[in-house]
Structure 1
């Protein structure tokens, strides 16, 4: 059977960046990684870059990652009043003050047993002077490691490596805690990231506390231990910021400068922050361990909204782990970034989904639609298959980039033999990286993504 090329797709590219041509995509995907010792707003720091994203790590302020930028766009909240400042460890309770620098840090959970922030007297995990070193320094990959002081009060020492590869916005955070005392200790590794709640200034000169476009999302567990799929950890019940099931199975929070905290047993392993004014997405991905115990009533992900400063915290927690003297436990978290609209309703290895690939048939036309973001520069291809998985048609859609939202919205001509549509991402050599979305065409003239 001869099948003619049957589809043409409009790629809608949104945002402040100009549409990337093939030469620009080539440059982005092949630019070498760099890492160097430098300064960040007055602190000694390490800078990691690959042409797509840039990170700045400051060991002396609790080993914090103080920036994660997609191009020039910053995702993380930083407190300007603390720039360049370092403080001596407190010697009394009256000297215990939390210096909230912003950025990302690693804490021990549960918080109720840790007692911070600020660090309890004699503890140094939040505000202590970490050491730092470059572990890998090559064109393909760079890596920086920070190590906390040995905290004999809490009983652990944190080690974290930040790894960045060429040609992707993906960052791997390899977090480890080690028992440094002569007794067993039980803790969770608690990943706390402050993201911006104020996205723009008011040009009229009025004071702006937040913007309505700052959102966070996580997928609800259909078999959750919590009756509603989530649990209130702080703030008012049924806070107006909360949107349970903003889409089917998705919990959303719109930052409104309220005090609140919500947690959930997120089994799908992602939490997303979205600037919906400008369509920037930052996702943290992690592994959920269903047989393990988690802190805070069984929470693997939590979101805090601050009422005093313009930020939210997207938080990832490992299972609670008991370590014997000298034992270690590792828990990795992956960061990815791209341009896409909200809400984020699905996350996979290759991109995010705001609207699944869908198909609609009328009496005289067939149309498809979908909204996506990708982590890696390359090419997008739409593939049509029959019920036996034979590829009938392959249509190149053009180049894709983390700097551009991928929007499909087009009337098509569809052969009856096609039962499945796929959007695949290829690298610049034409090799398949992976599947962005998939649509099974059903007999009711509509498609179903899965």
Structure 2
């Protein structure tokens, strides 16, 4: 029976693999850009726009988008000059990057290194070179590459109405990203590369940020339906010894709302109760070792944390769709800006969006050297929240249990295949295999089945077996 089920899955997977497409399209979705790089299969669609700084402006599971995109900038592209003012950020939306440290990419009036907003243009806003290539494993991948980013960049001095220009170019950086989507899955595999193109050593890293949808319709302001989850523990603390940090405070929130939303009065109790606080969206530890943040429109503030298991998960609760990123493990021996590898940001800009951000370590690069960083994305339908755990196979929202001959659990999966339960004895030998049926990213996988498990079993393992024979461990249970 197991062989028959796998054979059936093989036929399905072969038809889907034939439907996998990686190609260039003009005016994709009427966005107004030509030469948009598109990768899609039965489960996901992904679009990279070279003219919009190589940003990923679409990553959908079925018809559910994960990324916010700015319609005001459809079809636009900009030069690579870095003389830009604060209000001239080309915020296309989608998936973007910023060089780290953020705090020393420009100069101030004293000629010292300083932060500038908007971030450096060549690496963040200007058009990228792009191509569809074949990697050594035979997959078609989308490759994008920035121009050469000179640092420090100019900063506009509003008091003197002139740009503060650096006396010299201290650094030259170039960014490259390759990605491909896996057949019969929602998984997107990315490799980032930052190269020192200058003549002196540099200390640099990168931050990758996904700007997520945060309302179900125009002016709905239902941010409570759009949440992010991140794991934490007592072994991965911030430099001040705390497990996490809310970057804003009551005064900064009050100022933001007063300047950008509505006039407030500290003599009005209702105003003080509503807005003189850090924000109402930091929902705390909603499951052991898992923090939840929901989007709040009247806020411009971030959340710093070490993702102890190196994953972040964004969920659209209106349709129970999870979009996940998992990345290289946190390394205590390396240096990270702010001491973190992850952050979550509530942005009130434009229509508002929730950001999930991954921070690489800061590497020392000699002239001509580069570092590479692996980051993977997956998407799945889930039955409920909160998200308890993420692994390369899928999302766990209810862990595997076996009580009274009843097996239960709830998941979202990134790969299509046949689910099966394996009972292993004390020596790790499989004593029993139970077929559980077909699973895929477009359907939540809820396990509720009466089954008698072998008395010799000491461990239960939940696997997804793909048509090509690939096996993916989703969950396990020690009996």
Instruction: Tell me if TM exceeds 0.5.
Output: yes
Q: Which residue of 2 aligns with 1:14?
A: none
Moved more, 91-100 or 176-185: 91-100
Structure 1 pair 404–136 and aligned structure 2 pair: CA distance change class (3 A): same
User: How far is 1:24 from its partner?
Assistant: 5.3
TM-score w.r.t. structure 2 length? 0.79
Q: Which residue of 1 aligns with 2:366?
A: 324
- Provide the C-alpha distance between the structure 1 equivalents of 2:397 and 2:374, rounded to a whole number of angstroms: 25
Q: Which residue of 1 aligns with 2:283?
A: 243
**Aligned counterpart for 1:357 among listed residues 400, 406, 419:** 400
**Aligned counterpart for 2:217 among listed residues 201, 217, 241:** 201
Q: C-alpha offsets along residues 275-323 of structure 1, whole Å, 9 cap, x if unaligned?
A: 1221111111111222101012x01011001124331111001100121
1:152 alignment partner, SS class: strand
Alignment of 1:60 onto 2:23: no
Q: Which residue of 1 aligns with 2:471?
A: 433
- Provide the C-alpha distance between the structure 2 equivalents of 1:139 and 1:109, rounded to a whole number of angstroms: 31
**Larger helix share, 1 or 2:** 2
Q: C-alpha offsets along residues 50-93 of structure 1, whole Å, 9 cap, x if unaligned?
A: 33221111112211110011122211111112111223456755
Kept after mapping to 1: 8 A contact 2:185/2:440: no
Kept after mapping to 2: 8 A contact 1:148/1:159: yes
1:28 alignment partner, SS class: helix
**Aligned counterpart for 1:231 among listed residues 221, 242, 245:** 245
Alignment of 1:43 onto 2:33: yes
Structure 1 pair 69–116 and aligned structure 2 pair: CA distance change class (3 A): farther
Kept after mapping to 2: 8 A contact 1:234/1:261: yes
- Residues 167-178 of structure 1: matches in 2 within 5 Å? 167-178=184-195
**Aligned counterpart for 1:310 among listed residues 348, 352, 373:** 352
- Provide the C-alpha distance between the structure 1 equivalents of 2:344 and 2:447, rounded to a whole number of angstroms: 31
Kept after mapping to 1: 8 A contact 2:38/2:48: yes
Q: Which residue of 2 aligns with 1:416?
A: 455
Moved more, 280-289 or 383-392: 383-392
Aligned pair count reads 410
Structure 1 pair 351–92 and aligned structure 2 pair: CA distance change class (3 A): closer
Alignment of 1:220 onto 2:232: yes
Query: Structure 1: 5+ residue runs without aligned partners?
Result: 6-19, 442-450
- Provide the C-alpha distance between the structure 2 equivalents of 1:213 and 1:29, rounded to a whole number of angstroms: 34
**Aligned counterpart for 1:81 among listed residues 65, 72, 91:** 72
CA RMSD after TM alignment: 2.6
Q: C-alpha offsets along residues 177-214 of structure 1, whole Å, 9 cap, x if unaligned?
A: 1112222221111111111111x237xxxx31234221
**Aligned counterpart for 1:260 among listed residues 298, 301, 309:** 301
Query: Structure 2: 5+ residue runs without aligned partners?
Result: 2-7, 106-114, 153-170, 251-276
Q: C-alpha offsets along residues 135-192 of structure 1, whole Å, 9 cap, x if unaligned?
A: 2299962111111110122521111112223222111221111112222221111111
